Amino acid sequence: MSEIEGARLFREAWIAGVHQRFPGEPKVGYVTPWDGTPQWEREAAGAVYEQVRQFVEVSGGRASRLSREQRGRFVPICWTAQIFKHFDDPKPGYVADWADLPDWRQETDADIFDAIEKALD
């Protein structure tokens, strides 16, 4: 899978998770389709996809043995690094630690990891 395809997979998993888990009506930016996604966000999605892909690969395919929380935690750590790459002074909510993320976001991040891992099978 190319990095662009991986970035799109990441974005589609994010949108699916938001639709399933976000309480109430999500912000438009949360569910904007790929074609309307800003370039920085496309690049960030590709980078995080690639980090998860490599993590699964170097684990010898054993990342699935991690708990759902452990798999989920990896995604926002990678995403936060991308936020710092693209923004000099991001809003605190954009770089919040796992424990400070709402449940819907934690679950969506775990879904993203699982979607990437599944696509590698």
| pLDDT tens string 51-89 | 999 999 999 989 999 999 999 999 999 999 999 999 999
Dihedral angle over CA of 45, 40, 31, 113, nearest 10: 10
pTM score: 0.95
Per-residue model confidence as pLDDT tens digits over 97-112:
999 999 999 999 999 9
Contacts 24+ apart (CB under 8 A), 58-61: none
Which two tokens mark 120? 């590698």
